[in-house]
Structure 1
Amino acid sequence: MKAYLFSGQGSQFVGMGKIFYEKYFLARKIFNIANKILNIDFTKIMFNGSKDILKKTINSQLAIYIYSFVETQLCKNFFPDMVAGLSLGEFSALTAVNVISFEDGLKLVKERGLLMQQACDTIPGKMVAIFGLKDKIIERVCKEDKGIVVPSNYNSCNQLVISGEYNSVNRVCLILKKLGANRILRIPVYGAFHSPIMELIEEKFVNIINKISFNNPICPIYQNYLGIPIINPNDIKKNLIKQLVSPVKWKHSIKNMIINGAKFFTEIGPGRTLENMAIKMLKTFSK
């Protein structure tokens, strides 16, 4: 069975999508539609903008969403048996399997990005990937800190991302390093996503998402909130809201995809990290 994975925030790079734009009429059409909806020449930010501008939450999320949709439309053999997207990538996945339209998805991603940026400006924070420690150890150290810091992305058996206020994350990282973390890597995003900080914008996001029509998907989507296959549009919408303030259960999603028959993983979007992680997990389960 074929599983498609959709890149999340942090996979963006300056120049992304430019080759598609120059080579394919369909890609140019989609980029132009996006520019019109956003009322800005967003392709300039994607193709020629600075790295710092593209890294801003609102810009990176829109760029990855647009890029992923273009790639999906150019893919002649896109017949998924199951899909999943990492955080922002979940919106790309939902568009790809016809749950939401590209236009509605673009508006939703824009508003979500603006709200997340507001939360980040109100309470500055960051996200850091921890390698080489068991989840329980990281969870315990986060819980013992007096500030805001929580596990936010269960990416793989060897990697867990934490999210929170700057000082809290820094304190936890120092402790985890002493406890044996073999690598600590800052995630290239501005903000502490999937943490209690995002509760500041939850109500506004609910009001926005409730205005969007959700349809039946063409295949199951393994959502971040639960990591299990979902097909009911109402459940999909509820889980998408929960995703904002809850940890991403990515490794759970991949594990369940493999259990349910996934043999081939393909990443849609500007990154290939998700595909590589899934292939490693597939090899592990195959032994």
Structure 2
Amino acid sequence: MLAVPPAEAAARDLSKLRLLRRARSHQDRLGRKPITVAFLFPGQGAQFVGMARDLLEGDPGSTEFLSQTEDRLAMPLGRLMMDGPEAELQATENAQPAILFHSLALLRRLVANGIEPGAVAGHSMGEFAGLVAGEALDPLDALAAVRARGAAMSAAVLPASGMIAVLGLPDGTVEQVCAGSGGLVVVANYNAPGQVVISGSEAGLNAVSPQLQAAGAKRLVRLPVSGAFHSPLMAGAAQVFAAVWERMPLRPLRRPQVFNADAQVHQDPMEVRPLMVGQLTGPVRWTQSIQRLQQLGADTYIEVGPRRALTGLVKKILPGAVVHNIEDVPSMTAYLKTAHAG
């Protein structure tokens, strides 16, 4: 067997992310091929110092992918992921490409081992990984997009703004309280039943917090984020990102992706492109997205990326679902043994 140079092997592996059974159309997947396995990709908040370390050790394909990524983004992403410092990694413009790289490195290895999803969904920024898995977006373009997205979000942050997780209230109750804030606070994430995140100005958050407690909220948890993401306060970021995003090549999706904006499947780039801009100012409908995947036929959900936040959310949304988490080499090895045994 001829040895394949690392760069050539990496290019071949990356191409697999764009050539996942091109012979089958999107409608084939929706209409004739049963969807049983859905890949889920995490968003911001999944980053940590030391991430992706074992994915890069001893894997020439992943190290070459990292080299290509660092060249494209002109940043020391590997150092930030593995060594920090933490404050620098937590910056939105750094955290987003770090999380996406981690997810795509895992995706590359899953595809190389013959594991493909029937459908995909991503939480907020994770939707870009979904576009790669769906063959609509090249990996390096996706990484450049989230780098620009993160930078735009950081630049748009207002000093007195933030996000709060509201635990233990029905969605409608939280929506009603936010509606009375005069637009100062909105629902940002519908993460799971009884777990909603609100976003807005500091004054608005301070005003609605006692109202939510009076309505019966079990806990209010201030999130460690720099601004009011997924709210109208990100309108400036959306405008800046749109100018970058419109220049990125985007192809029709070749596998179903359920999008956060409306919890529906979209294929046409003309529909997908504005959805990816609108997510900056609109809510993440994660509960509804998982329910939609179930309606499509998914009964097994695999979180592909750092940490396991989405795994816990899916278990709350669909208590009877089969849920796996693939975040590193040991978890991938364990899953592959199970998958190949079956």
How far apart, in 1, do the equivalents of 2:59 and 2:266 lie?
34
1:177 equivalenced with 2:213 (yes/no): yes
Counterparts of residues 110-125 of structure 1 (less than 5 Å): 110-120=147-157, 122-125=158-161
User: What one-letter code is carried by the residue in structure 2 that aligns with 1:68?
Assistant: S
How far apart, in 2, do the equivalents of 1:285 and 1:176 lie?
31
How far apart, in 1, do the equivalents of 2:82 and 2:52 lie?
7
The answer (yes or no) to whether the contact 1:71–1:269 under 8 Å persists in 2 is yes
In the other structure, the counterpart of 2:42 is: 7
SS at structure 2 position matched to 1:130: strand
- How many pairs were matched up? 285
In the other structure, the counterpart of 1:259 is: 295
In the other structure, the counterpart of 1:197 is: 233
1:31 equivalenced with 2:66 (yes/no): yes
1:56 equivalenced with 2:91 (yes/no): yes
1:137 equivalenced with 2:173 (yes/no): yes
Q: In the TM superposition, what whole-angstrom CA distance separates every residue of 1:126-149 from its partner, at most 9, and x where no partner exists?
A: 111111101121112112124621
- Give how far 1:167 is off: 2.7
- Give how far 1:57 is off: 0.8
Q: CA 1:178–1:109 in structure 2 vs 1: closer, same or farther (change >3 Å)?
A: same
The answer (yes or no) to whether the contact 1:214–1:234 under 8 Å persists in 2 is no
How far apart, in 2, do the equivalents of 1:78 and 1:91 lie?
19
In the other structure, the counterpart of 1:283 is: 319
In the other structure, the counterpart of 2:128 is: 91
How far apart, in 2, do the equivalents of 1:187 and 1:78 lie?
34
1:104 equivalenced with 2:137 (yes/no): no
In the other structure, the counterpart of 2:116 is: 79
Ranges in structure 2 where 5+ consecutive residues have no aligned partner = 1-35, 323-342
Q: In the TM superposition, what whole-angstrom CA distance separates every residue of 1:247-283 from its partner, at most 9, and x where no partner exists?
A: 1111111001111111100001102121222133223
User: What one-letter code is carried by the residue in structure 2 that aligns with 1:74?
Assistant: R
1:69 equivalenced with 2:112 (yes/no): no
In the other structure, the counterpart of 1:269 is: 305
How far apart, in 2, do the equivalents of 1:230 and 1:188 lie?
32
- Give how far 1:199 is off: 0.8
The answer (yes or no) to whether the contact 2:123–2:286 under 8 Å persists in 1 is yes
Q: CA 1:124–1:77 in structure 2 vs 1: closer, same or farther (change >3 Å)?
A: farther
Q: In the TM superposition, what whole-angstrom CA distance separates every residue of 1:1-22 from its partner, at most 9, and x where no partner exists?
A: 0001000101111110011111
Ranges in structure 1 where 5+ consecutive residues have no aligned partner = none
Paired-residue identity, % = 33
In the other structure, the counterpart of 2:185 is: 149
The answer (yes or no) to whether the contact 1:193–1:245 under 8 Å persists in 2 is yes
Question: Structure 1 stretch 37-46 or stretch 7-16: which is displaced more?
Answer: 37-46
1:248 equivalenced with 2:284 (yes/no): yes
Task: Give the counterpart of 1:216 among 245, 252, 255.
Answer: 252
Question: Structure 1 stretch 171-180 or stretch 211-220: which is displaced more?
Answer: 171-180
The answer (yes or no) to whether the contact 1:221–1:229 under 8 Å persists in 2 is yes
Task: Give the counterpart of 1:17 among 36, 52, 72.
Answer: 52
The answer (yes or no) to whether the contact 1:10–1:187 under 8 Å persists in 2 is no
User: What one-letter code is carried by the residue in structure 1 that aligns with 2:56?
Assistant: Y
SS at structure 2 position matched to 1:52: helix
Could you tell me the TM-score, scaled by structure 1's length? Answer: 0.94
Q: CA 1:187–1:259 in structure 2 vs 1: closer, same or farther (change >3 Å)?
A: same
User: What one-letter code is carried by the residue in structure 1 that aligns with 2:173?
Assistant: I
Question: Structure 1 stretch 36-45 or stretch 7-16: which is displaced more?
Answer: 36-45
Q: In the TM superposition, what whole-angstrom CA distance separates every residue of 1:59-86 from its partner, at most 9, and x where no partner exists?
A: 1111101111111011124311110000
Q: Larger RCO: Structure 1 or Structure 2 (Cα < 8 Å, ≥ 6 residues apart)? A: 1
The answer (yes or no) to whether the contact 2:156–2:237 under 8 Å persists in 1 is yes
User: What one-letter code is carried by the residue in structure 2 that aligns with 1:92?
Assistant: A
Could you tell me the TM-score, scaled by structure 2's length? Answer: 0.79
- Give how far 1:31 is off: 1.1
The answer (yes or no) to whether the contact 1:130–1:159 under 8 Å persists in 2 is yes
Question: Structure 1 stretch 32-41 or stretch 165-174: which is displaced more?
Answer: 165-174
User: What one-letter code is carried by the residue in structure 1 that aligns with 2:57?
Assistant: E
In the other structure, the counterpart of 2:267 is: 231
